Structure 1
């Protein structure tokens, strides 16, 4: 409790671990709440939770409550899953795919991710998972970073087409991207152009400084 109170004045680190995938992972008390950070960016809770909460607001909490299943690619500490369960009261199935087993270990210990009954965690590569899964989803949340870097495959036709195939009609994609320079912004404009009239695409720039959100609805 003392650390929580002191964190309103200065961040207090309580756990640090080196990870082969994400390099440095840190759990810190900041402004009265626990957050998970990588070396150069917030990974869960803190600003990232605010970013994805905004995206879920754009889609609509009431609409999401009516969904049957959600796929989260890139779990980290599980802040978006906590938003789904605690704030939106989503009771359908959530599947979370995370490459870094160390992150899930931290998420279970410090953020209680393993206490969520309607959550299934898959430790593995998101690209491989979407190739193998036979399910279709009402909402697909893509939040994949290695520190401040986004893998190129997220923006390639094969991945985009496969995600679109896995999405149910009237379902949504929520895609969190980072735009640090002009090249990133051009990449995002090119990504937006990959969707035809069967999709309603909205882009929300400048969400928490360097993040740009996409919401994509499958119309038919």
Structure 2
């Protein structure tokens, strides 16, 4: 409790380790809450939880509550899962795909993800998973980072087409992106401007927490 109280005055790191996939990972008490960080950015809880919660609110908590199956691509510490379960509260099935098994071990230890009964965690590459899965989802959350960088495949038309295909009727994609330079701004504009799919809409929620932009894709029928 002392560390938690002191964290309102300054962050207190309680665990750090390296991972072959994510490199540097830390668990820190900050403003009374445990957060997971990479070397240069927040990975779970903290600002990331606020960002994705805003996106979920934009879709509508009432809509999400009625959904049956949600797919999370990029779990990290699982803050968006905790928002779904605790704040909405979502009672359906959640499938989380995470490439880094070390992150999941930390998430289970510090954030108790393994105690969420409707959650299934799959250790896999997100691109490989979406190619293999035969299931359809009501909401797909894409939150994949390597520190502050996003893999290029996330913005390729094949990947976007595939996750759109995996949506049920009237489903949503919530895509969290980070914009740190001009090229990344242009990358997002290109994706939004070139997105032309019948029965789909796309919109952006710009400059969330300064450097993030949320992209929301909705399947209309």
1:142 is matched with 142
Deviation at 1:198, TM superposition (A): 1.8
**What displacement does 1:196 show?**
2.6
2:53 matches 1:67: no
CA distance in 2, matches of 1:189, 1:158: 17
Counterpart in the other structure of 1:131 = 131
Aligned residues: 220
Q: CA deviation at 1:98?
A: 0.2
Counterpart secondary structure, 1:94: strand
* Unmatched tracts of structure 1, length 5 or more: none
Contact 2:200-2:219 at 8 Å conserved across structures: yes
Structure 1 residue 195, shift from structure 2 partner:
3.3
TM value normalised by structure 1: 0.99
Residue 99 of structure 2: aligned partner? 99
Structure 1 segments of 4+ aligned residues over 3 angstroms from their partners: none
Q: In structure 2, what is the Cα distance between the partners aligned to 1:197 and 1:57?
A: 25
Q: Deviations over 1:179-208 (max 9, x none)?
A: 001110110011112233421211011100
- The two structures have a TM-score, normalised by structure 2, of 0.98
Residue of structure 1 equivalent to 2:187: 187
Task: Calculate the aligned-residue CA RMSD, in Å.
Answer: 0.7
Q: Partners of 1:219 and 1:169 in 2: how far apart?
A: 7
What is the Cα deviation at residue 169 of structure 1? 1.4
Paired with 1:203 and 1:181, the residues of 2 have a C-alpha distance of: 17
Q: Is the 8 A contact 2:195 2:202 kept in 1?
A: no
Please list every run of 5 or more consecutive structure 2 residues that lacks an aligned counterpart in the other structure. Answer: none
